[in-house]
A and B are shown apart, each in its own frame.
Chain A
């Protein structure tokens, strides 16, 4: 199949030392911390109370709106608290979290499993995916059902299953494809049905030959599913770059991929869809790569959602040296952890403990010499050094003009900068600032609109009063005149 090239990109050292290590289950921890927001969208609303006894897979919190995802119990036990707890975010800010104490029995709740999910209608499939709390498991954590429902409005000609896993260190998708290819393929077929789409392309980077082989074996009978090898280059696993590589199409700025008939789902999402529809199991665990030079025994673990990072590190023998940085996710786009008391959530694909040598971070940035390496590396075609200098000086309009919102935050520019300028940091700051300004502007506009409405209402009322008064006066006068006329007549 003809592939296309995306511009720029970088080749960070792969460091995929765990790619030959089988997935092992993590022993059940005593407490699980399930944030009500493990996804993009509105936080879930608890349907259980403190002290409730729950079973594995039972619904704990429901999705209040379309763009949201429910939360289920990762094991059986007792709800110990519903409280604020540190969320996996660099700020370390707390979010509402359900704390579940395991009873050690790991007992499943009854669930309804269709005999053959392929007899479900596309809408029903999407609905069940939504009910299972499945979100994009490549890291973005966007509710999968919302995307699957887009098949109604747009004709999807190609479903791309993203097995790129271009982040260094991470091998959880690689292992999943190697060990459970049939399940992944089954999930792909279900998604094809949900989207009413005829073609799925599973794109796997060239550095995962075993995974490609396993998938090919599993889908050789299927004409609608095809495994394709894409070059190993970061950020191949980014949705936009993946689409460009496989189809040669670019998602128009500000639009959804569905609008050009393409949809991308991660392999792990596909596996979750299989679990939900074939076995009635909601998304309550995921595969996580635990790795990094500071860690004693890197491995791949299947982890109940809500397990603290601490438990994973402990299970892997702890540190052999003090890590320079602990991360959730890959080194290119992952988030730095404030500490280890942070739960694994639906989008957590890796826990990394990097040594100082691995990060190679410089304490101070040097001046930009305009060497242009950042512009060469940018897969979008932006000029990061120009953009950063605008963002740094708070010139948001100029930054917008240079394409601030086109930036996908892949970090290729920062990675390649010889002067160690934290370009991505500046962009994040500018994007945040922009969002804040917009919000404030909207607030201002709302306030103004309300004030205006009130003014209009007052004016309307005053006018009505005036009219009423004038009418009364006119009536009174008419009456007076009539009386006067009557008097005169009498006279």
Chain B
């Protein structure tokens, strides 16, 4: 008899695959990515393509060195997704070598060294982003003001190659064009200068722009709305759970609101926190990476709330204006611990794993009811 796979039951399977899931996530990322490309022009597209290509090359290299088959792992789409997400968190006009080093670091150090797909402890894209931030702080904090494709100031295609492969400065009209600070950057600097938040905030933050993404920032992080839509799509299709985004965004919103009420002059309100930086991308696409997050729903709530709290702490009191990557990595490290302690209750057992004893509690009440022949 011709048989595929093992003989144990079940003998049928839901039609789904790892690559199908990755494809869905990538599709959900597409609107925000395309918006980023439109907003920051051709150099952003270069960055996306180079990072992704380098990630795929690194995956192939890693699999080859480890003696594992190459094609199946390229086809599963995980390396493509890692490269894509990494690019989305980088400054849109970052030079090619930042993209390449980042992608190599993400795939080789972040994933292959651990044993490939599913084995890594940390989110590879976030690991690479942190490594780049520490190694190349200048390149990682050089932001551009939005210059949509085909608009007057936007660099042409040839110029974009120059920006990506040679450098930015001589090309574009003014230095201002490339030094448009992000919301979080601006606030942090102004507060350090002793300015009052209420006075300076309007210079940096306009709710409408922040929602749509019309502002300086990383390639794919600015449009909170498109990221939210992509994330909701993934929840609807069952590819991610609602627990992680809800707990992450909820915790940040709660902390921000609390501190804002306590001192509005020093602490930005929740809207600023939710709509700027990498929070939306992280909530729906990065923290939800199943590999580094807990298995149980309750565990996921703890994990995501932890990220949210750390993001707020780093943004508010830390040395960096943005803390998403650090927060994700720290909670990735806590995942095995969470998984160890937070498990679903097993059928027929109490939460401590002992067999149910029916002496008291809801089961005892139910038993009494049934015995009464209700």
Point out residues on A near B: beta carbons under 8 Å: 6-7, 10, 12, 90, 155, 157-158, 168, 198-199, 240, 244, 247-255, 260-262, 322, 324-327, 331-339, 354, 356, 358-364, 366-372, 375, 379-383, 385-386, 403, 406, 409, 411, 414-420, 422, 424-425, 428
Contact = CB atoms under 8 A, between A and B. Distances in A.
Interface stretch (B157-165, B278-286, B366-374): B366-374
A359 B11 contact: yes
Contacts of A250: 347-348, 356, 363
Interface stretch (B17-25, B195-203, B206-214, B252-260): B17-25
B1 A248 contact: no
B295 A370 contact: yes
A369 B13 contact: no
Given A386-B339, A406-B346, A418-B21, A424 B13 contact: no
Nearest to B294: A372
Interface of B: 1-18, 20-21, 72, 76, 78, 116-119, 241, 290-291, 293, 295-296, 339, 343-349, 353, 355-358, 363, 366-367, 370-371, 373
B135 to A, nearest CB: 29
A370 B12 contact: no
Contacts of A367: 18, 116-119
Contacts of A252: 348-349, 355-358
17 contacts: A249-B366, A252-B349, A324-B3, A331-B11, A332-B11, A339-B1, A354-B11, A361-B5, A362-B4, A372-B296, A383-B295, A383-B296, A403-B349, A411-B9, A415-B12, A418-B17, A425-B8
Given A354-B11, A375-B344, A418-B21, A249 B4 contact: no
A363 B83 CA distance: 29
Given A247-B366, A252-B356, A360 B13 contact: yes
B295 A385 contact: yes
B39 to A, nearest CB: 31
Contacts of B346: 253, 380-382, 403, 406
Contact of B5 (A332, A335, A362): A362
Contacts of B2: 322, 324
Contacts of A158: 370
Contacts of A383: 295-296, 339, 343-344
A249 B363 contact: yes
A253 B363 CA distance: 14
A260 B17 CA distance: 42
Given A361-B11, A366-B18, 18 more contacts: A158-B370, A244-B347, A261-B371, A322-B2, A354-B11, A360-B14, A366-B117, A369-B78, A369-B290, A369-B291, A375-B344, A379-B347, A382-B344, A403-B346, A403-B349, A403-B353, A416-B16, A419-B17
A252 B4 CA distance: 38
A244 B9 CA distance: 24
B78 to A, nearest CB: 7
- Looking at chain B's contact residues, the main secondary structure is loop
A78 B221 CA distance: 81
A254 B355 contact: yes
Contact of A7 (B291, B344, B349, B353): B344
A157 B349 CA distance: 22
Pairs A-B, 5 closest by C-beta atoms: A411-B10, A425-B8, A381-B344, A253-B355, A252-B355
A424 B10 contact: yes
A182 to B, nearest CB: 25
A363 B355 contact: no
A10 B14 CA distance: 9
Contact of A406 (B5, B14, B78, B348): B348
B9 A424 contact: yes
Contact of A327 (B11, B348, B370): B11
A372 B164 CA distance: 40
B366 A248 contact: yes
